[in-house]
Amino acid sequence: MIWILGAVLAIVCSLAVALLIAIRINGAAVLDRVDRITGGSREVELLEQARFGPGVRQVLDVYGTAANASEPRPVLLFLHGGGWNSGDPADYGFIGRAFAPEGFVVVTAGYRLHPEAVFPAMLEDTASAIAWTRVNIARLGGDPSRIVLAGHSAGAYNAAMSTLDRQWLAREGLGPDAIAGVIGLAGPYDFFPFTSDSARNAFGHVPDGETTQPIRFAHPGAPPMLLLHGDKDTVVRPRNSHALATKLEAVGARTTTRIYAGMDHTDVLISLASPWRGRRPVLGDMVEFARSVRASVPVQDKIG
């Protein structure tokens, strides 16, 4: 009997390892399916699908729960990763199923990718997605003064850069109050000179590459930031979060950094899906931060 139990455990462990490998190879689409199978809908609904531009990538999905809320809910606007050359917000339903039951309205947004587009298209699209959310989220139950912008990997870069370099929000007619806070998961914030193909493809045409780096734009008026990273990340090394946090703290901007022991580049994202979300601190850290921030200036109307 003992050998049978051992064999069963070995099979289970092998399947678990194979599943994690499949997620790492095939990305968010597999993770989303695993989340659906093991976690279910969690009574989360797809409230709306919309476009914020004419491009095929300029799309977003809005998730929430059917339960009536006594007041508008905080909003999490999430940007996918993928090296600025891949990714689809439709594969990130697990983000909606993670945060909507915690009292959020969740928006997952896309942006133009290489080879269709290069820097600064991803920042223009991020600002456009923010503008759409500001104008439309109230009718979907969200509070436009409590929008937290979050992203993983390339999406974390988009989130940080589009809010630190104030020109991108300004081009949409938005001020520094447009975003209540930023959460970056395994984000690249200090990666010039460009050493990876994805970075060279997206940014290599810029005459002064340093002007593409978030660390260059730290300023006292930056929104509060939560920077999350795994200490085993070899794709985007944790020094990126440390470097940005150091710059922000030097100018007095509110910044919190969490470095998770034993996690790699994809682990911080996997931690937001079932069956892992309840076993790791990532979701709790994000929820606590997102509930704590609010835009300090009243929301101003903008044409949409």
| pLDDT computed for residue 3 by the predictor | 60
Q: By the 8 A CB rule, do 244 and 215 touch? A: yes
In a domain, 251, yes or no: yes
Q: What is the mean pLDDT of the chain?
A: 91
Name the residue with higher pLDDT: 89 or 21: 89
In the structure, what pLDDT confidence band is assigned to residue 22 with cuts at 50, 70 and 90?
very low
CA distances from 60 to 81, 146, 170, 245 (A): 15, 18, 21, 29
**What pTM did the predictor assign?**
0.91
In the structure, what pLDDT confidence band is assigned to residue 25 with cuts at 50, 70 and 90?
low
Query: What's 12's DSSP letter?
Result: H
The percent helix, strand, coil of the chain (3-state, each to 5) is 45, 20, 40
**The residue type at 108:** T
Question: Mapped to the 3 state alphabet, what secondary structure does 130-181 carry?
Answer: HHHHHHHHHHHCEEEEEEEEEEECHHHHHHHHHHHCCHHHHCCCCCHHHCCE
Three-state DSSP class for residue 36? helix
In a domain, 230, yes or no: yes
**Any idea which residue has 């090296």 for tokens?**
83
**pLDDT > 80? residue 171:** yes
- The secondary structure of 87-109 as a DSSP string is --GGG-HHHHHHHGGGT-EEEEE
**pLDDT > 90? residue 83:** yes
Least confident of 102-111, 150-159, 217-226, 295-304: 295-304
**pLDDT > 50? residue 18:** no
Instruction: Please write the tens of the pLDDT for every residue from 225-284.
Output: 999 999 999 999 999 999 999 999 999 999 999 999 999 999 999 999 999 998 999 999
Q: By the 8 A CB rule, do 64 and 47 touch? A: yes
| pLDDT computed for residue 66 by the predictor | 82
Range of the domain at 127: 41-292
| pLDDT computed for residue 10 by the predictor | 42
In a domain, 228, yes or no: yes
Rounded to whole angstroms, the Cα distance separating 73 from 148 reads: 12
CATH of the domain at 89: 3.40.50.1820
| pLDDT computed for residue 127 by the predictor | 98
Rounded to whole angstroms, the Cα distance separating 237 from 174 reads: 32
In a domain, 231, yes or no: yes
Rounded to whole angstroms, the Cα distance separating 161 from 187 reads: 11
Q: Give the total number of structural domains in the chain.
A: 1
In a domain, 8, yes or no: no
Burial (CB count within 10 angstroms: exposed 0-12, middle 13-18, buried 19+), residue 301: exposed
Rounded to whole angstroms, the Cα distance separating 227 from 255 reads: 8
In a domain, 184, yes or no: yes
In a domain, 238, yes or no: yes
In the structure, what pLDDT confidence band is assigned to residue 67 with cuts at 50, 70 and 90?
confident
